[in-house]
Amino acid sequence: MRKKHLMTAAAAVLMASMLSACGGSGSTETAADTTAADTSAADASTEAGGSAEGGSQAAASGQDYGSTFDVAGAGEVTLDVMITSLGDSDGGPYLRSVMEDYMALYPNVTLNPVECSMNDLYTTLITQATAGTLPDIFTMSEAYSANCLEMGMAVDNLPELLGEDYMNSLMPAAVENATIDGTLVYMPWQNNITAMVYRKDLFEEKGIEIPTTWDEFLEAAKALTEDTDGDGTIDRYGCVFAGQRNDSAESRFQTFALTYGCDLVTDNGDGTYTSGFGTEEFKNAMESFIDLAVNEGVAPAGFVETGYSEAYTMIASGEACMFFSPSNVLGGIYTANPEMRGKMGSFPMPVAEGVDPVTSFSSVGMTISNTCENPEVAADFLKYMTSVDISVEWNEATCRLPVVEEALNAICEKDESYSGFAEASDTAVIYPPFAGLAEMRDACAECWQSVVSEGVSLDEAVERAAQTAEEVAASYSN
């Protein structure tokens, strides 16, 4: 897959923040002292086709988020809002409170929360689109954006609905990541740069250096794996890996493969795609992934049953010490065990020998259905939900990083645990859209699960995966 380094203003914002202020002692429990970058709603232009009257009401209520549409004058509006985070123990309650605040601001608007897990998102949207029952607003990511565009699920004028000022407040890389053939498919919301989170306190206690290669990572993991209570059984492991057959684990392996110099799929630039599964780099990545997760004795048992929540729970309980993920994993850890605040850190992904530092950039966001009867109000709510103040509060609730640059800067200045994500941003890559990405990722999980659970040889499993991946690449090629 053709990749593009994330050498944009976004990386500069993150790196500058890390170098200048991330060493502070601020905790994510404290609200950031920051104000919205958007212009006053009372002075905003009417880009979305309405007046600034609704924005004036918002400003008067202390919610200046750059509204450019007269929401209060839109009449009775009901919007079904499907956000995958609504089911989360941390983000769900906060999002519901944001929706309630917006409805209090505009009593003529009713927002109906609709739950759907990220792992079920793709199949749910396909079913809803086919049945003509798409919600007015729904979660979207680059993994499914090509499908979303091909099926005509979303509006085709999202930038106009959001307005120029709002679009200019976003990380350019995030906008590019959400754009296909000149169409912004979804409004990016969460910045999912991947890095390794780790027990910083234990590294310091044991004098362990931050690993930059997977060989060094294994040595660090061995040093952290021990029987802490002397009963003859290991009770703390150096690391944990997610191995369930779902998008959460599979997307992590895609990043892992990058660190071995392997792209799962290459865009040839002529409408055709080539799989990377048949390369030596893919085989090396798969072998190392299985060895670290299962064979080296540095990770807990039950790899193929371990999902994202099980993994961060092991970190929170002290059963494991390292796990790679986007930053939201810190929120899961802190929710499960608040005493981990101050003990965690992050560092860029290790790489195989001879591979330059690299990680993946992806984004999760929201889009508006093409069947939505009030797209201007839907866009106004999305701007409200992702405004600077609310983005900072969202980070405090979930540890997810936003794509609104001013909010991202404020968050990094407050908490050094994000420094690894900031450092990794300079070597992150984004992928061109590929409608078969979910199928490619699933072939990876089938590969490692067949080796671990069924005793299939690595060579045979990789050969099967390569055959599947080539078929997928061919089926989506012109």
**Torsion angle of alpha carbons 217, 223, 225, 230, nearest 10°?**
180
pLDDT of amino acid 220: 98
pLDDT of amino acid 323: 98
Beta strand 77-82 with 109-114 is parallel
Contacts of 362 (CB under 8 A, 6+ apart): 141, 142, 143, 177, 192, 194, 251, 326, 430, 431
Q: Please state, in angstroms and rounded to a whole number, the distance separating the CA atoms of residues 380 and 382.
A: 5
- Take residue 423 and report the two structure tokens written for it: 């450092």
pLDDT of amino acid 72: 96
CB–CB of 254/444 below 8 Å?
yes
Give percent above pLDDT 90 in the chain: 67
pLDDT of amino acid 63: 59
Q: What is the average pLDDT value for the chain, to the nearest integer?
A: 86
- The pLDDT tens digits of the residues spanning 384-397 come to 999 999 999 998 88
**Residue 101 carries which side chain, given as an amino acid letter?**
D
pLDDT category at 256 given cuts 50, 70, 90 is very high
Q: Please state, in angstroms and rounded to a whole number, the distance separating the CA atoms of residues 379 and 55.
A: 13
Average pLDDT, integer, range 253-275: 94
Residue 188 has pLDDT above 90, yes or no: yes
Contacts of 352 (CB under 8 A, 6+ apart): 213, 214, 259, 260, 261, 284, 285, 288
Q: Please state, in angstroms and rounded to a whole number, the distance separating the CA atoms of residues 356 and 427.
A: 9
- The pLDDT tens digits of the residues spanning 104-156 come to 999 999 999 999 998 889 899 999 999 999 999 999 988 789 889 999 999 99
CA 427 to chain CA centroid, nearest Å:
16
- The pLDDT tens digits of the residues spanning 362-380 come to 889 999 999 999 999 999 9
Q: Please state, in angstroms and rounded to a whole number, the distance separating the CA atoms of residues 310 and 330.
A: 13
- The pLDDT tens digits of the residues spanning 211-231 come to 999 999 999 999 999 999 999
Query: pTM of the full predicted structure?
Result: 0.73
Residue 291 has pLDDT above 50, yes or no: yes
CA 329 to chain CA centroid, nearest Å:
10
pLDDT of amino acid 133: 96
- The pLDDT tens digits of the residues spanning 158-177 come to 999 999 999 999 988 889 88
- The pLDDT tens digits of the residues spanning 38-76 come to 333 333 333 333 333 333 343 333 357 889 999 999 999
Give percent above pLDDT 70 in the chain: 87
Residue 34 has pLDDT above 50, yes or no: no
CB–CB of 419/21 below 8 Å?
no
Average pLDDT, integer, range 26-49: 30
- The pLDDT tens digits of the residues spanning 193-204 come to 999 999 999 999
Residue 35 has pLDDT above 80, yes or no: no
Greater pLDDT, 257 or 89: 257
pLDDT of amino acid 60: 33
Domains of the chain, first to last: 36-192+362-416 (3.40.190.10), 195-360+436-475 (3.40.190.10)
Across the beta sheet with 401-402, the strand order is 109-114, 77-82, 137-141, 363-368, 187-191, 401-402
